[in-house]
Amino acid sequence: MAARERLLVIGGDAAGMSAASQARRLRGPDELEIVAVERGHHASYSACGIPYFVGGVVDELDALVARTPAEFRERGIELRLRTEAVEIDTRGGRVRMRSLDGGGERWEPYDQLMIATGADPARPDLPGADAKGVHGVQTLDDGVAIRRAVEEGSPRRAVVVGGGYIGLEMAEAMVMRGLEVSLVDFADQPMRTLDPDMGAIVAEAMRGIGVRLHLGEPVEGFDTSPDGHVTAVRTRDGALPADLVVLGLGVRPATGLAEDAGIETGPTGGIVTDRRMRTRAERVWAAGDCVETRHLVSGAPVAIALGTHANKQGRVAGINIGGGYATFPGVVGTAVSKICRVEVARTGLNEAEAAAAGFETLSVAVESTTRAGYIPGAVAMTTKLIAERRSGRLLGAQIVGEENAAKRVDGLAIALWNGMTVEEMTGLDLGYAPPFAPVWDPVLVAARKAADAVERDMRSAS
Amino acid sequence: MAARERLLVIGGDAAGMSAASQARRLRGPDELEIVAVERGHHASYSACGIPYFVGGVVDELDALVARTPAEFRERGIELRLRTEAVEIDTRGGRVRMRSLDGGGERWEPYDQLMIATGADPARPDLPGADAKGVHGVQTLDDGVAIRRAVEEGSPRRAVVVGGGYIGLEMAEAMVMRGLEVSLVDFADQPMRTLDPDMGAIVAEAMRGIGVRLHLGEPVEGFDTSPDGHVTAVRTRDGALPADLVVLGLGVRPATGLAEDAGIETGPTGGIVTDRRMRTRAERVWAAGDCVETRHLVSGAPVAIALGTHANKQGRVAGINIGGGYATFPGVVGTAVSKICRVEVARTGLNEAEAAAAGFETLSVAVESTTRAGYIPGAVAMTTKLIAERRSGRLLGAQIVGEENAAKRVDGLAIALWNGMTVEEMTGLDLGYAPPFAPVWDPVLVAARKAADAVERDMRSAS
Count CB neighbours of B74 within 10 A: 10
Contact assessment for residue A19 and residue A315, using Cβ atoms and an 8 Å cutoff: yes
In three-state secondary structure terms, A397 is strand
The chain A residue lying nearest B418, using CA atoms, is: A418
Q: Do β-strands B134-136 and B244-247 pair in parallel, antiparallel, or remain unpaired?
A: parallel
Q: Residues 6 or more apart from B360 whose CB is under 8 A from it?
A: B388, B389
* Statement to judge: residues A62 and A97 lie in one domain: yes
**Residue B151: which H helix or E strand, with range?**
helix B140-152
Same domain, B291 and B201: no
Residue B329 included in any domain: no
Q: Which residues contact B295 (CB under 8 A, 6 or more apart)?
A: B301, B302, B330, B331, B332, B333, B349
Domain count, chain A: 3
Looking at the complex, report in whole angstroms how far the Cα of residue A87 sits from the nearest Cα belonging to chain B.
31
The counts of H helices and E strands in chain B are 12, 25
Q: Which pLDDT band holds residue A404 (cuts at 50, 70, 90)? A: confident
In sequence order, what are the residues at sequence separation of 6 or more whose Cβ sits closer than 8 angstroms to the Cβ of residue A74?
A: none
> Is the distance from CB of B379 to CB of B401 less than 8 angstroms?
yes
Judge residue A211's burial from the number of C-beta atoms within 10 Å of its C-beta, 0-12 exposed, 13-18 middle, 19 or more buried.
buried
Helical axes A14-26 vs A307-321, angle rounded to 10°: 30
Look at strands B284-286 and B5-10 and give their pairing.
unpaired
Do you know the residue count of chain A?
462
Residue B326 domain flag: no
Contact B233, B159 (CB under 8 A): yes
A429–B311 CB contact, under 8 Å: no
Question: Which residues of chain A have a CB within 8 Å of the CB of B343?
Answer: 436
The pLDDT of residue A202 is above 90: yes
Instruction: Verify that A143 and A233 share a domain, yes or no.
Output: yes
Note the residue count of chain B.
462
Give the burial string for B320-359 (b: 16+ CB within 10 Å, else e). Answer: bbbebebebbbbbbbbbbbbbebbbbbbbbbbebbeeeeb
> Are residues B127 and B100 part of one domain?
no
Going by C-beta distance under 8 Å and a sequence separation of 6 or more, which residues neighbour residue B157?
Answer: B179, B180, B181, B182, B240, B241, B242, B243, B244
Which H helix or E strand runs over A352? Answer: helix A351-356
Question: B345 and A431: CB-CB below 8 Å?
Answer: yes
**Residue B173, number of CB atoms within 10 A of its CB:** 27
8 Å CB contact of A410 and B411: yes
The strand order across the sheet containing B94-99 reads B83-89, B94-99, B105-109
- Does residue B307 sit within a domain? yes
Which helix H or strand E contains B301, and what residues bound it? strand B301-302
Query: What φ, ψ does residue A143 adopt, rounded to 5°?
Result: -60, -45
CATH number of the domain bearing residue A313 = 3.50.50.60
Phi, psi of B59 (to 5 degrees): -75, -50
Q: Please return the burial class of A180, using the count of CB atoms within 10 Å of its CB with bins 0-12, 13-18 and 19+.
A: middle
Chain B interface mutation, best of A429, A443, A445, A456, highest count of B Cβ atoms under 10 Å: A429
A143 and A198 belong to one structural domain: yes
| Angle at which helices A196-208 and A165-176 cross, to 10° | 10
pLDDT band for position A186 (50/70/90)? Answer: very high
Domain boundary among A224, A249, A274: A249
Query: Is A260 within a domain?
Result: yes
Specify the 3-state DSSP secondary structure of A182: strand
DSSP H or E run through B231: strand B230-235
Contacts of A310 by beta carbon, 8 Å cutoff, 6+ apart: A13, A14, A15, A18, A116, A118, A287, A288, A289
- Given a contact cutoff of 8 angstroms between Cβ atoms, the answer to whether B155 and B147 are in contact is no
User: B439, A307: Cβ pair inside 8 Å?
Assistant: yes
- CA A353-A462-A358 angle, to 5 degrees, is 15
| Burial A76-85, CB ≥16 within 10 A → b, else e | ebebbbebbb
| Residue A457 in domain | yes
Smallest CA–CA distance, residue B70 to chain A, in Å, is 21
In angstroms, the separation between the Cα of residue B393 and the nearest Cα of chain A is 14
Lowest mean pLDDT among A22-36, A420-434, B367-381: B367-381
- Containing B89, the helix (H) or strand (E) segment is strand B83-89
Name the domain boundary from A220, A249, A278.
Answer: A249
Of A308, A410, A418, the CB nearest to B408: A410
DSSP at A203:
H
- Going by the DSSP 8-state scheme, the letter that residue B364 receives in this structure is E
8 Å CB contact between A8 and A89: no
User: With contact defined as beta carbons under 8 Å apart, do A243 and A158 qualify?
Assistant: yes
Do A260 and A186 reside in the same domain of the chain? no
Same domain for B438 and B346, yes or no, is: yes
CA separation (Å) from B173 to B23, B145, B170?
A: 38, 14, 5
Query: Are A116 and A259 part of one and the same domain?
Result: yes
Task: Please name the member of A14, A408, A434 whose beta carbon is closest to the beta carbon of B49.
Answer: A434
> Are residues A85 and A20 part of one domain?
yes
Nearest to B428 among A306, A417, A435 (CB): A417
Q: How close B207 comes to chain A (CA, Å)?
A: 21
CA distance A435 to B393: 30
DSSP string, B233-266: EEETTEEEE-SEEEE---EEE--HHHHHTT--B-
**Sequential pLDDT tens for chain B (462 residues):** 568 999 999 999 999 999 999 999 999 999 999 999 999 998 888 888 999 999 998 988 888 988 899 999 999 999 999 999 999 999 999 999 999 998 799 999 999 999 999 999 888 889 999 999 999 998 889 999 999 999 998 999 999 999 999 999 999 999 999 999 999 999 999 999 999 999 999 999 999 999 999 999 999 999 999 999 999 999 999 999 999 999 999 899 999 999 999 999 999 999 999 999 999 999 999 999 999 999 999 999 999 999 999 999 999 999 999 999 999 999 999 999 988 889 999 999 999 999 999 999 999 999 999 888 888 888 889 999 999 999 999 999 999 998 888 999 999 999 999 999 999 999 999 999 999 988 899 999 999 999 999 999 999 976
- B308 touches B281 (CB < 8 A): no
Name the band, by pLDDT with cuts 50, 70 and 90, for residue A4.
very high
Q: List the beta bridge partners of residue B253.
A: B119
Among residues B321, B354, B370, the one where a domain terminates is B321
β-pair partners for A207:
none
Mutation target vs B (from A309, A340, A414, A421; most B CBs, 10 A cutoff)? A414
Residues of A in contact with B345 (CB under 8 A): 431
Q: Do A323 and B422 contact (CB within 8 A), yes or no?
A: no
Check whether A259 has a pLDDT greater than 70: yes
pLDDT computed for residue B138 by the predictor:
86
Nearest-Cα residue of chain A relative to residue B331 = A429
Contact B433 A336 (CB under 8 A): yes
Q: What percent of chain A has pLDDT over 90?
A: 85
Structure confidence at residue B388 (pLDDT)? 98
Q: What is the ipTM of this complex?
A: 0.94
Q: Is residue A205 classed as helix, strand or coil in its secondary structure?
A: helix
CA distances to A176, A321, B330 from A427, in Å:
43, 43, 8
Give the domain range for residue A233.
123-249
* Structural domain includes residue A347: yes
pLDDT at B213: 97
Residue B332 lies in a domain: no
What are A111-163's pLDDT values in tens digits? 999 999 999 988 888 999 999 999 999 888 999 999 999 999 899 999 999 99
Confidence of residue A315 (pLDDT cuts 50, 70, 90): very high
Residue at B327 is within a domain: no
Verify that A207 and A156 share a domain, yes or no.
yes
Count A/B contacts: CB-CB distance under 8 Å: 203
CB pair distance less than 8 Å for B433 and A48: yes
Nearest CA-CA distance, residue B269 and chain A, Å:
22
Which among A51, A121, A95 has a CA at the least distance from the CA of A337?
Answer: A51
Alpha-carbon distances of A39 from A23, A95, A117, A139, rounded to whole Å? 22, 14, 10, 11
Residues A166 and A63 in one domain: no
Residue A346 and residue A367 in one domain: yes
pLDDT of residue A462: 63
Q: Quick one: average pLDDT of A89-95?
A: 98
- Answer for the pair A117, A291: CB distance below 8 angstroms, yes or no: no
Residues of B in contact with A164 (CB under 8 A): none
Residue of B nearest to A306 (CA): B432
pLDDT tens readout for residues A326-376: 999 999 999 999 888 899 999 999 999 999 999 999 999 999 998 888 888
